[in-house]
Amino acid sequence: MSSYAIAADHAGVALKAELISELAKLGHEATDLGPASTASVDYPDFAAKLTELVSKGTPALGILVCGTGIGMSMAANKVNGIRAAVCRTEFEARLTRQHNDANVLCLGQRVTGGGVALEIAKVFLSTGFEGGRHQARVDKVMALEGSR
Ligand code: RB5
């Protein structure tokens, strides 16, 4: 059993629901931060809700879904402690956990189909950071927070 947080905007709410349901069958328990309907909302508001939790490590990992995944990643990466990655493939999801210690996965409902998105999310939630030579690089990434 693992826990993760998930949020979306109106363009990602259907994929969010599908992921919550399918990942639950595999023992991944979601904290669903909304929205509950497809009424138009602003993706930064939901990125803010999710990153408030993940930046504190409770839970350690999160998933954000919008139309492309890109707006969510831009918003999430403004928050201290967040390393958000847009992933279109399982390979990217695996490597961004192993090498970048990404803590937020961003998906695009208008870009990635539900079946592929589920496989990406499964890999993201079940892959660990390798540390080692990657730790100093991640430390340098985090040292850039607020540096300009
Ligand atoms: C909403 O129309 C769309 O702009 C949003 O979901 C996202 O794709 C932004 O990056």
Atom of ligand 1 nearest to the CA of 108: 8
Burial label for 71, CB within 10 Å (0-12, 13-18, 19+), is buried
Q: Say which range, 58-67, 83-92, 123-132, 139-148, has the weakest mean pLDDT.
A: 139-148
Residue 148: pLDDT over 90: no
Catalytically annotated residues: 66, 99
pLDDT digits (tens, 9 = 90+) for 79-129: 999 999 999 999 999 999 999 999 999 999 999 999 999 999 999 999 999
Best substitution site from 42, 43, 45 to test ligand 1's pocket, by max atoms within 8 Å of Cβ?
A: 43
Amino acid identity of residue 68, one-letter, is T
Q: What is the per-residue pLDDT for 142?
A: 97
Q: What is the per-residue pLDDT for 106?
A: 99
Hey, CA dihedral for 105, 15, 56, 146, is it positive or negative? Answer: positive
146: pLDDT confidence band, cut at 50, 70 and 90? confident
Distance 25 CA to ligand 1 centre (A): 29
Q: Which of 43, 62, 122 has the alpha carbon at shortest distance from 90?
A: 122
- Per domain, the residue ranges of the chain are 3-143
Joined together, the tokens standing for residue 68 give: 């492309």
Task: Tell me how far apart the 2 most distant CA atoms of the chain are, in Å.
Answer: 45
8's enclosing H/E stretch is strand 2-8
Distance 131 CA to ligand 1 centre (A): 33
Residues with CB under 6 A from ligand 1: 9, 11, 43, 66-68, 70-71
User: How do strand 28-32 and strand 104-108 relate by DSSP bridges?
Assistant: unpaired
Distance 68 CA to ligand 1 centre (A): 6
Q: What is the mean pLDDT of residues 11-32?
A: 98
By percentage, how much of the chain surpasses pLDDT 90?
97
CATH number, domain 3-143? 3.40.1400.10
Residues 6+ apart with CB under 8 A from 81: 51, 54, 55, 56, 103, 142
